[in-house]
Amino acid sequence: MKRKVLLVALAVVLTGSLALAGCGTSGNTTADKTKDQVVVGISSEPTSLDEEQITDYNSDRVASEIYDTLVRFKDKSMEVEPDLATSWDISTDGLTYTFHLRDGIKFQDGTAFDAPAVVWNYKRMTDKTAPGYDTGTYGYAETIFGEVKDCTAPDAKTVVFTLKEPFAPFLSMMAMTQFSINSPTAVMKYGKDYTKNPVGTGAFKFKSWKTGTEVDLEANPDYWRGAPKIKTLIYRFIKDDNVRQNEFESGTLNFMVDIIPDNLANLKANKNYVVEEGESLHTWYLSLNCYTKPFNDVRVRQAFMYGINRKAIVDGILLNTGTLADNLLPPAIPFYTDDVPKYDYNPTKAKELLAAAGQSNLTVDFYVPESGSGMQQADTMATAIQSDMAKCGVTLKIQKLEWGAYLDKMFRDPKGQDMLLGQMSWMSDNGDADNFLRVLCGGDQWPAAGFNSAYFKNADLDAALKQGMQSSDPAVRTAAYKKAQQIIMEQVPYVTVDHEKQIVVYDKGLTGVVVNPRGFFRFQDASWSN
């Protein structure tokens, strides 16, 4: 979602080397003609450009160029550094965070950035009576501010957050793009249309949104870190992986994500391209509705873990562009443990568990999104899962939805939820175990309060998650999160499939692009070298 949720999907049919047929391999030409421009190919159209409302990955990639946050993640890590705040103080009891703001910053509409603007944004997301609250919905409000008691501005350059109880990940929460600071003037001017008229303090300004085609941004000449060298930044939405790669190789794109695994070797072999690969904070999984039969029975959930040949998906479909997920938490995140229950491919065991649960002839609608980010080979993986579970006596009826409608359906109140099984992925928003384990499995994180789309609740898990969340002692957090991971993988609210590697490809002449582990890009220092 998403991301942070962060949250995310792409429906394609894997056609392998056919994507390369008839395509030139000499490097881009068309897009190279305009050296003050970069065109980025992404897999889905943004749902919004208002960061405070964004819950999906590709929307975040586009909108993050427009805004700044109080603090931000460093270019190549999830370590926090100053952004709109120059420094901060944390009280000894861990309940008060005081941020000291930069002087002279203006929003892109000329409005002054100050502490009251930060408080206004906080209240917009949390107070139903506040100005601007009725202009949108804020899926991350509880995630970011659930532990906040109050936010005040004692003067124009100071913001104070007072917490209800100690919350170890709070500083990382402040670096999440979902608390990007919007211009209050612009929000009130555009109302609900602000989603397509965003105004921040970031490196690029919104220029236009061509529905179904692209979002165009232009350099902010007054950006406080320095005006970008790239004058126009275009995000083009191309759902089909093959079409997107053809566009890249023909020269109409300079930068591309969501690469078909079969085509990766060819791209790596081309000296005109740069292919970046790295660990990500990502897990792809099936969300099982634990609130409703049949998935309210742990035996049925475990049967799906045994019945799906997850390694075959990683090896044969994803071609090792991901690693097998034996845990919901990615190995790249601190406090990860390998000491959790494991599930080898065992259809016989799956059938035994289904029989014991009285579900030997189970039929379930299986929801698959048509597009979106982070969902890898959604169609192909769905077909493989359908085939695997058929061998266990389970009939999965694939139901496809457009990405926005898919998210609306998955994250709704459980009493009105008829989605029992659906694909989803999660990219950590802040690199902390809390943002995976509590946000996806916490009993207080059911939609619409959070992103626990499994509607899972376990008292022992919630106790461990709270301990990990409140303690600043690494040893205490390690023990708490180890217990939490063990409970999650024993209870199986989600069928974990893989941790996707972060892979992007771009023209060799494009330099200075930053790809953060969280999955977003920074083009503020990008330029063409030739």
Task: For the beta carbon of residue 165, count every other beta carbon within 10 angstroms.
Answer: 12
In this prediction, residues 301-329 reach a mean pLDDT of 95
Judged against a pLDDT cut of 70, whether residue 14 lies above it is answered with no
Judged against a pLDDT cut of 50, whether residue 354 lies above it is answered with yes
Judged against a pLDDT cut of 60, whether residue 260 lies above it is answered with yes
Look at residue 428 in the predicted model and tell me its pLDDT: 86
C-alpha to C-alpha distance for 65 and 513, rounded to whole angstroms: 12
Q: Which of 203, 325, 278 is nearest to 518 (CA)?
A: 278
**Mean pLDDT, the chain, integer:** 90
Look at residue 22 in the predicted model and tell me its pLDDT: 32
Which alpha helices (DSSP H) does 270-346 contain, by range? 298-307, 310-312
Q: Give the pLDDT confidence of 401-429 residue by residue, as tens digits.
A: 998 899 999 999 998 899 999 999 998 88
In this prediction, residues 178-207 reach a mean pLDDT of 97
Look at residue 372 in the predicted model and tell me its pLDDT: 65
And the tokens for 325?
């997920």
Judged against a pLDDT cut of 60, whether residue 388 lies above it is answered with yes
Q: Give the pLDDT confidence of 40-93 residue by residue, as tens digits.
A: 999 889 999 999 999 888 899 999 999 999 999 998 788 899 999 999 999 999
In this prediction, residues 10-19 reach a mean pLDDT of 31
Q: Give the pLDDT confidence of 90-118 residue by residue, as tens digits.
A: 999 999 999 999 999 999 999 999 999 99
C-alpha to C-alpha distance for 97 and 169, rounded to whole angstroms: 12
First vs last C-alpha separation in the chain = 36
Q: Which of 47, 19, 65, 343 is nearest to 216 (CA)?
A: 65
Confidence of residue 206 (pLDDT cuts 50, 70, 90): very high
C-alpha to C-alpha distance for 181 and 122, rounded to whole angstroms: 9
In this prediction, residues 200-222 reach a mean pLDDT of 97
Q: Give the pLDDT confidence of 503-512 residue by residue, as tens digits.
A: 899 999 999 9
In this prediction, residues 273-293 reach a mean pLDDT of 93
Look at residue 465 in the predicted model and tell me its pLDDT: 97
Judged against a pLDDT cut of 60, whether residue 381 lies above it is answered with yes
C-alpha to C-alpha distance for 501 and 295, rounded to whole angstroms: 30
Judged against a pLDDT cut of 90, whether residue 35 lies above it is answered with no
Look at residue 78 in the predicted model and tell me its pLDDT: 83
Confidence of residue 261 (pLDDT cuts 50, 70, 90): confident
| 3-class DSSP assignment, residue 495 | strand
Confidence of residue 373 (pLDDT cuts 50, 70, 90): low
In this prediction, residues 18-33 reach a mean pLDDT of 38
Judged against a pLDDT cut of 50, whether residue 31 lies above it is answered with no
C-alpha to C-alpha distance for 3 and 277, rounded to whole angstroms: 19
| 3-class DSSP assignment, residue 504 | strand
Q: What would you measure as the largest C-alpha separation in the chain, in angstroms?
A: 68
C-alpha to C-alpha distance for 289 and 287, rounded to whole angstroms: 7
